[in-house]
Structure 1
Amino acid sequence: MTIGQRRVKRVTQSDVAAMAGVSTAVVSAVISPKPGKTIRVGEEAEKRVRAAMEALGYAPNVVAQSLAGGQRNIIGVFTYEAVFPSDRENFFYPFLLGIEQGAMKRGQDLLLFTSSSLDRGPRSIFPAGTNRMGVADGAILLGEEPDKSELKRLYDTGFPFVTIGRRIAEGADLNWVAADYAAAVEDVIARCAALGHRKLKFLGSSRVREQNEDREQGFLRHGQQGLELSVERFDPAAIDAAWTRQCLAEGHTVVLTETFAHATALERQIVERGGSIPGTISVVALAAPLTVSADVERWTRISVPREDMGERAVEQLIARIRAPEDDIANITLPCGFVPGETLKAI
């Protein structure tokens, strides 16, 4: 946490009442209207309460309303993916296994949020303006590209959460568990150099997120003496015959691709030229595909400790729930190197 940054507390009914200019009893009556209640809430007062709830990001805690306060030992899991990763071949599935293992070890129940989506557009933490995850003590957020404005809003409410993957949102001190992509790519470069490669190209995605920055940083930092390193970023569809011809003419002997889509697109161009990988040029994939196939095994690549990341995210979240006043302590876990058939010595 940066010096002078004040940690926000979780929004309560008292906060809503203060903003709306009503008593907490009125807020409670709006949230949980029951027949026979003595408190009657006027239309204007109800409007002010609901407006305050949305402005503050308050979510009615339906579990706490039925239990006598305290923690419920319930962890929420939210994913921004359009389909919840229940397929074993899905890239995100191992994260869920790790989360489940971590929850079981620590006596926590899991609550999966699979319906917090709008009729159109991406999933939202705040459908209809409120955080439905408030029924849990805290939550783990999973997905390729979370909405940064939602992360900031969730942080401002004081709701405990941990993201899987390094995330930065302006004005928020986020808690995350991430893979050490920078060190993994740096290791790949050292292995390529040991095999005689001297001219290496990093071929990355056009959309740059935190994990993309980390891979590029690992590619460029601590460069080996005598190595020529270059970076290009564009979509896989832009890998055409002209680009491939120029890449080879410039003398590159290995390409580090940020996605499997880049790797397979490059291979198609090489094959159309009558060449092969690694016969014509070597390729190392720096990320796993979102859907695993049998073809993946032959590629030289890095591996991400996904189950371990899921379990450590549970550990981090429980620590955040129990001691919200403590400083953020983010975790970066090492990746592995998987030898394959697409990298050869020269």
Structure 2
Amino acid sequence: MAQAPRSPRRRRPTQVDIARRAGVSQATVSLVISGGAASDQIPEPTRRAVLAAADDLGYSANVAARSLKGGRNRLLGLYTFEPVFPTDQRDFYYPFLLGVEEETAAQGYDLLLFSSVTSGVDRSIYAGGANRLKIADGCVLLGRHVRRAELAALIREDFPFVFIGRREVDDGEVSYVAADYVTATSALVAELVALGHRRILHLRAPDDSEPTRDRETGYRHGIAEARLPADHVLIETLDDPADLSADRIRTLVERHGATALLVEPTEDTRLVEALEEAAHAGGLRFPDDLSLALLGDAPSWTPGLRDWTRYSLPRARMASEAVGQLIELLADPASAPRQLSVPCAFVPGDSIGPAPAAPARGARP
């Protein structure tokens, strides 16, 4: 049986077709479709005629081409400097992703998630010297281990972006929405002091990122606000939270005469798993033997996780505020960078208690 002849493939409509249908020039069609500032020069009846012709013909604009020509496509980007889907960090990143997605939709924009042409620490915004984010009108950035040079390059390009978290570069200002680690950490110190603790040991991360520095600043402010002596500022670097065994904790406590610990958590499960092991296998009782509070959230999905005393980051709100700031920057590109700190929420938990009546073994007189 002979096959029926195929119908010719329908050609995609072009701006030339729209111009013929609307009775205008192709230049006019291009201005209307691009949506850029120059399109404001087109009379409203002409604009409506062009859009109606485009709709009748089933025209679909090339989003990438529109972006390259400087038009707006109501598309926001989300770029992360680390993978956002690893199972050991899924709980940390999820509220950020949810907040960005919900606020983007509420503002009437589409969202584009940028992965990377490379992996791990080699992730880069730029490929072959070109800014890959330019397909979007602007972008929300996220991640602990950032490429400072790339942030500076985005600033030089005047590309609109907002970082979730406080970030600094040497030759420009970054728009950001950050958790107020300074106030939250200082408040935790005050909470411990009110329970009678005077020697509070702060275990910080080894890097010098802004969140780590802000936590240390908050700790120092708390000690100063409590009018404790300068030698009560007790800080140790915790290179690998997985090494925080019961013996290591006892050694640190005896070295400083500490009755309480403030620990910077990790985005993954290493710290809380080490603490659970120290309590179960190592026999440490929190808060009977030692009070302990986390300077941030632990992964809430970790099986058997106890209710640690801590403060909680407003991650969904931070993400939502970042999208709002980005849209404000798009509306007013000449405006100054926007920077916002959002309060954290204290979670009482069950891992701190009154200081012991006698000083811990090894405490200084």
Same topology, TM > 0.5 = yes
The residue aligned with 1:168 is 168
How many pairs align?
A: 285
The residue aligned with 1:345 is 354
CA distance 1:270–1:293, shift in 2 (3 Å): closer
Trace 1:1-346 onto structure 2 (pairs within 5 A).
62-64=64-66, 70-84=71-85, 89-114=90-115, 116-118=116-118, 121-221=121-221, 222-226=224-228, 228-235=232-239, 236=241, 239=244, 241=247, 244-248=250-254, 250-259=256-265, 261-262=270-271, 264-265=273-274, 268-269=277-278, 274-289=283-298, 292-346=301-355
Please tell me the residue identity of whatever aligns with 2:101: E
Q: Secondary structure at the match of 1:144?
A: coil
User: Is the 1:201–1:231 Cα contact (8 Å) retained in structure 2?
Assistant: yes
User: Is the 1:164–1:309 Cα contact (8 Å) retained in structure 2?
Assistant: yes
CA distance 1:237–1:70, shift in 2 (3 Å): closer
Give 1:245 deviation, angstroms.
Answer: 2.6
Percent identity (aligned): 35
CA distance 1:247–1:264, shift in 2 (3 Å): farther
Give 1:237 deviation, angstroms.
Answer: 5.1
Q: Secondary structure at the match of 2:113?
A: strand
Deviation readout 1:47-103 (Å, 9 max, x if unpaired): xxxxxxxxxxxxx9824169x863211100111122447999431110111111211
Q: Secondary structure at the match of 1:298?
A: coil
Q: Secondary structure at the match of 1:104?
A: helix
CA distance 1:253–1:125, shift in 2 (3 Å): same
Please tell me the residue identity of whatever aligns with 2:302: S
Q: Which has the larger radius of gyration?
A: 2
* Cα distance in 2 for residues equivalent to 1:171 and 1:297: 44
Please tell me the residue identity of whatever aligns with 2:293: V
Q: Secondary structure at the match of 1:283?
A: strand
* Cα distance in 1 for residues equivalent to 2:303 and 2:129: 43
CA distance 1:201–1:87, shift in 2 (3 Å): closer
TM-score scaled by length of structure 1: 0.74
Give 1:234 deviation, angstroms.
Answer: 2.9
RMSD: 2.7
Give 1:147 deviation, angstroms.
Answer: 0.9
User: Is the 1:244–1:270 Cα contact (8 Å) retained in structure 2?
Assistant: no
* Cα distance in 1 for residues equivalent to 2:83 and 2:171: 27
Give 1:315 deviation, angstroms.
Answer: 0.7
Please tell me the residue identity of whatever aligns with 2:110: D
Structure 1 gap segments, 5+ residues each: 1-59
Give 1:171 deviation, angstroms.
Answer: 0.3
User: Is the 2:199–2:259 Cα contact (8 Å) retained in structure 1?
Assistant: yes
Give 1:257 deviation, angstroms.
Answer: 0.3
* Cα distance in 2 for residues equivalent to 1:190 and 1:126: 45
Give 1:325 deviation, angstroms.
Answer: 0.9
Please tell me the residue identity of whatever aligns with 1:224: A
CA distance 1:201–1:246, shift in 2 (3 Å): closer
* Cα distance in 2 for residues equivalent to 1:65 and 1:151: 20
CA distance 1:220–1:176, shift in 2 (3 Å): same
TM-score scaled by length of structure 2: 0.71
CA distance 1:284–1:264, shift in 2 (3 Å): farther
* Cα distance in 1 for residues equivalent to 2:181 and 2:91: 20
User: Is the 1:199–1:253 Cα contact (8 Å) retained in structure 2?
Assistant: yes
Deviation readout 1:247-298 (Å, 9 max, x if unpaired): 2364211100012545654564565553322221111011224674144442
User: Is the 2:184–2:311 Cα contact (8 Å) retained in structure 1?
Assistant: yes
User: Is the 2:179–2:344 Cα contact (8 Å) retained in structure 1?
Assistant: yes
Please tell me the residue identity of whatever aligns with 1:323: D
* Cα distance in 2 for residues equivalent to 1:254 and 1:87: 28
The residue aligned with 2:52 is none
* Cα distance in 2 for residues equivalent to 1:210 and 1:121: 18
User: Is the 1:82–1:123 Cα contact (8 Å) retained in structure 2?
Assistant: no
Structure 2 gap segments, 5+ residues each: 1-61, 356-365
User: Is the 1:263–1:285 Cα contact (8 Å) retained in structure 2?
Assistant: no
User: Is the 1:160–1:324 Cα contact (8 Å) retained in structure 2?
Assistant: yes
User: Is the 1:244–1:269 Cα contact (8 Å) retained in structure 2?
Assistant: no
* Cα distance in 1 for residues equivalent to 2:348 and 2:120: 42
* Structure 1 stretches of 4+ moved >6 Å: 85-88
User: Is the 1:244–1:266 Cα contact (8 Å) retained in structure 2?
Assistant: no
